[in-house]
C-alpha cells in the first residue's frame, strides 16, 4: 500500500518527535516502535528508516523486529478493523470459511487493508464469546454466529451507513 506524501510527512515528523525523547541505546528500540505504532496505528517504512538511523542499525534489522512480533502492523488499519476469532470454538464452527468469505468479498488477505482503507482483516486467538461462535469483531463490536451470508450483510450494512453519511453531509451544506 502506497502512502501519500502527506502521510509520509506525518509519519516522519511523528517518529522524529518520539525519537527525540529516547537515547540511542538499543534497549529502547522496541519501546520506540511501540510508541510509533500507538501514534500512527502501524509502523510505515519511513518510520522504520528513521528508527534505524537513530539506533545506528540496518533498516532490515528493524523490519525483522516488526515482522517477528505480532503486535506490529506494516499497513495502516482500515476504518473498520475486522478481527476474525480463530479460537477453538470458532475454529470448530467454521472460522476458516468466514475468513475466506471476508477475503473474497473484500479482495484482500489476512493482515491487509483495502485500497480505500475502509477495511482491514486480522486474526485473533480468542475473544471469549465461545457460545456465539464463529465470532467477528468489527471495531471491537462483537458479531456472533457469523455465516458467509452474514459477512455479505455486514458489508452491505456498512455501505448503507456510508451512503446515509454522504446524504447527511450533502444536506448540511
What pLDDT is stored for residue 1 in this prediction? 65
What pLDDT is stored for residue 83 in this prediction? 95
The Cα 143–Cα 19 span in angstroms is 39
Instruction: Tell me whether residue 90 is annotated as binding.
Output: yes
What pLDDT is stored for residue 159 in this prediction? 85
The Cα 49–Cα 32 span in angstroms is 13
What pLDDT is stored for residue 49 in this prediction? 95
Distances (CA, A) of 127 to 83, 93, 101, 139, 157: 9, 14, 20, 13, 23
First to last CA, the chain: 33
Instruction: Tell me whether residue 129 is annotated as binding.
Output: no
The Cα 95–Cα 116 span in angstroms is 25
Q: What is the pTM of this model?
A: 0.76
The Cα 38–Cα 23 span in angstroms is 19
Domain with CATH 1.10.10 in the chain: 5-68
- pLDDT (tens, 9 = 90+) of the chain, 173 residues, equals 678 888 899 999 999 999 999 999 989 999 999 999 999 999 999 999 999 999 999 999 999 999 998 889 888 889 999 999 999 999 999 999 999 999 999 999 998 999 889 999 999 999 999 999 999 999 989 999 999 999 999 999 988 888 887 777 777 77
Q: What is the pLDDT of residues 152-169, one digit of tens each?
A: 999 999 888 888 877 777
What pLDDT is stored for residue 162 in this prediction? 80
Domain with CATH 3.40.30.10 in the chain: 80-170
What pLDDT is stored for residue 71 in this prediction? 84
CATH 1.10.10 corresponds to the domain 5-68? yes
| Superfamily of 80-170 according to CATH | Glutaredoxin (3.40.30.10)
Amino acid at each position: 500500500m502506497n502512502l501519500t506524501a502527506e502521510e509520509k510527512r506525518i509519519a516522519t515528523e511523528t517518529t522524529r518527535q518520539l525519537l527525540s525523547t529516547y537515547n540511542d541505546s538499543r534497549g529502547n528500540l522496541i519501546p520506540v516502535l511501540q510508541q510509533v505504532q500507538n501514534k500512527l496505528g502501524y509502523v510505515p517504512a519511513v518510520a522504520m528508516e528513521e528508527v534505524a538511523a537513530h539506533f545506528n542499525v540496518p533498516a532490515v534489522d528493524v523490519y525483522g523486529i516488526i515482522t517477528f512480533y505480532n503486535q506490529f502492523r506494516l499497513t495502516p488499519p482500515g476504518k473498520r478493523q475486522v478481527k476474525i476469532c480463530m479460537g477453538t470454538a470458532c475454529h470448530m464452527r467454521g472460522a476458516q470459511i468466514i475468513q475466506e468469505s471476508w477475503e473474497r468479498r473484500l479482495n484482500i488477505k489476512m493482515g491487509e487493508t483495502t485500497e480505500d482503507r475502509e477495511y482491514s482483516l486480522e486474526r485473533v486467538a480468542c475473544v471469549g464469546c465461545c457460545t456465539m461462535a464463529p465470532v467477528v469483531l468489527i471495531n471491537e463490536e462483537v458479531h456472533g454466529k457469523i455465516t458467509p451470508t452474514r459477512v455479505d450483510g455486514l458489508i452491505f450494512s456498512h455501505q448503507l451507513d456510508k451512503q446515509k453519511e454522504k446524504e447527511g453531509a450533502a444536506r448540511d451544506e
